Amino acid sequence: MTRPVALITGASSGIGLSFAHHLARTGHDLVIVARREDRLRDLAEQLSAEHGIDIEVIAADLADPDDLDVVEERLEAGEPIALFVNNAGFAAIGRVGEGDRDDMTDMLLLNVVAFSRLADAAMAGMKREGRGTIINVGSGTLFTKMPTYAGYGATKAYVAYYTRVMQSETKDGNIRVQLLIPGITATDFHHVAGHSVDDFPPERVMEPDDLVVASLRALELGEAVCIPSLPDVADWHALEAAEAKIAPNASRDKVAERYHN
All structural domains of the chain with their residue ranges: 5-235
DSSP for 172-211, written as a single string: TSSEEEEEE---EESSTHHHHTT--GGGS-GGGEE-HHHH
Task: Specify the pLDDT at position 188.
Answer: 73
Bridge partner list, 32: 8, 57
Checking if the pLDDT of 9 tops 90, the result is: yes
Checking if the pLDDT of 196 tops 80, the result is: no
**233 — pLDDT class (breaks 50, 70, 90):** very high
Cα–Cα nearest to 177, from 117, 248, 240, 226? 226
Q: 5-235 has which fold?
A: Rossmann fold (3.40.50)
DSSP code, position 9: E
**197 — pLDDT class (breaks 50, 70, 90):** confident
Contacts within 8 Å (CB) and 24+ apart, 93-96:
93/148, 93/149, 93/151, 93/152, 93/193, 93/194, 93/195, 94/148, 94/151, 95/147, 95/148, 95/150, 96/150
Mean pLDDT, the chain, integer = 94
Checking if the pLDDT of 106 tops 80, the result is: yes
> CA 46 from chain center: how many Å?
24
**209 — pLDDT class (breaks 50, 70, 90):** very high
**39 — pLDDT class (breaks 50, 70, 90):** very high
Checking if the pLDDT of 185 tops 90, the result is: no
